[in-house]
Homo-oligomer: A and B are copies of this chain.
Amino acid sequence: MKEEQEIKEIEKLFDRLFPINRSITGSGLRKSLAILNEYLPLERFSVKTGTKVLNWTIPEEWRIKEAWLRGPDGEKILDFKDHNLHLLNYSTAIDKNLELEELKEHLHTIASLPDAIPYVTSYYKKRWGFCLPYNKYKDLKEGQYHAYIDSELVEGELNYGHAILPGESDQEILISTYICHPSMANNELSGPLVATFLYNRLRKWKNRRFTYRFVFVPETIGAIAYLAKFGKELVERVYSGMVLTCIGGETNLNYKLSRDENNPIDNIVKHLFTNNDPEGSIRPFTPIYGSDERHYCSPGFNLPVGQMARLVYGYPEYHTSADNRDLISIESLYESVNEVEKVLRALELDGYYLNQFPYGEIKLDQHGLYPDINTRGIDNHFEGKLVRNRNQVNQILTILNYSDAKYSLREIAEKFNQLTRCNISLLELEEMVEILKEKGLLKGPYSKEEAKKI
Contacts and interface: CB of A to CB of B under 8 A. Distances in A.
Given A54-B360, A394-B288, A120 B374 contact: yes
A420 interface: yes
B125 A318 contact: no
Contact of A360 (B108, B123, B227, B319): B227
B363 A55 contact: yes
A143 interface: no
A74 interface: no
Contacts of A294: 361, 401
A319 to B, nearest CB: 6
Given A360-B227, A363-B55, A373 B122 contact: yes
B298 A401 contact: yes
A320 to B, nearest CB: 8
B357 A287 contact: no
Contact of A227 (B223, B231, B359, B365): B359
Interface in A95-128: 108, 110, 118, 120-125, 127
B288 A118 contact: no
Interface stretch (A31-39, A241-249, A299-307): A299-307
B398 A287 contact: yes
Contacts of A372: 122, 124-125
A82 B377 CA distance: 24
A254 interface: no
Given A55-B362, A359-B227, A360-B227, A376 B318 contact: yes
A397 interface: yes
A394 B359 CA distance: 48
Contacts of A56: 360, 363
A55 B357 contact: yes
A199 interface: no
Nearest to A53: B360
Nearest to A122: B373
B398 A288 contact: yes
A331 interface: no
Given A54-B360, A55-B363, A376-B318, A287 B120 contact: no
Residues of A contacting B: mostly: loop
Contact of A358 (B228, B288, B299): B299
A295 B360 contact: yes
A358 B298 contact: yes
A207 interface: no
A375 interface: yes
A91 to B, nearest CB: 11
Given A55-B360, A363-B55, A374-B120, A419 B300 contact: no
A404 interface: yes
A284 B416 CA distance: 12
Contacts of A301: 359-360
A299 B373 contact: no
Contact of A359 (B55, B120, B419): B55
Given A288-B394, A359-B54, A360-B56, A374 B121 contact: yes
A418 interface: yes
A430 B250 CA distance: 43
A288 B318 CA distance: 51
A425 interface: no
A359 B296 CA distance: 9
A214 interface: no
A120 B375 contact: yes
A125 B363 CA distance: 13
Contacts of A259: 401
A283 to B, nearest CB: 10
A224 interface: yes
Contacts of A402: 287, 299
7 contacts: A56-B360, A118-B375, A118-B376, A121-B374, A287-B400, A300-B360, A318-B376
Interface of A: 54-56, 108, 110, 118, 120-125, 127, 220, 223-224, 227-228, 231, 259, 284, 286-288, 294-295, 297-302, 318-320, 355, 357-363, 365-366, 372-377, 394, 397-398, 400-404, 418-420
Q: Nearest 9 pairs between A and B by C-beta? A: A300-B358, A287-B401, A125-B372, A299-B404, A300-B359, A54-B360, A120-B375, A299-B358, A295-B360
